[in-house]
Amino acid sequence: MVVLDGEVDMASAPQLEHVLGEQLAAGAQQVMVDLRQVSFMDSTGLTALFRAHEALAAAGSAMVVVCGPGPVRRVLDVSGVGGVVPIYSDPAESAAT
């Protein structure tokens, strides 16, 4: 599980890409990205998530996102990320599906 906090923007998105790349390199079968403590995410964060999702899928792995209600969830919904990457409100919901 990758737990993020703070803000994800063009200054910090490279760190997110790096961390998700480490998960891929480690051979993770499923990566859960927990955004519940993230207060802001822009298009660079979305792009980092998309890229990680594509790379993991190509390796036969999967990514899910955990995100509660709020501005980050709003951005995920408006951008259509939920149509590509499963989004859950909490980790227990993810485990139940």
Partner 1 sequence: MTRRFALEVPADSDYLTMARLFVGAAAEELGCGGDTADDLRLAVSEAAGALIDGGGPITVALSAEDAGAAVAVRGPGRPVGDAGVGNLVLGLELAGALLGGVTIDESESGTVIGFSAPADAE
- What is the binding site for partner 1 (CB under 8 A)? 7, 9-11, 40, 42-44, 46-47, 71, 74-75, 78-79
Residue from 81, 84, 2 nearest 42 by CA? 81
Least separation in angstroms between residue 95's CB and partner 1 is 29
- Of the two residues 28 and 75, which places its CB atom closer to partner 1 in the complex? 75
**Alpha carbons 23 and 74: distance in angstroms, whole number:** 26
Nearer to partner 1, 6 or 57 (CB): 6
Instruction: Return left, alpha or beta for 70; rule: phi > 0 is left, psi -120 to 50 is alpha, else beta.
Output: left
Q: How far is the CB of 60 from partner 1 (least distance, A)?
A: 26
With beta carbons less than 8 A apart as the criterion, state whether 88 and 64 touch. Answer: yes
Return the number of the residue (78 or 95) whose C-beta is nearest partner 1.
78
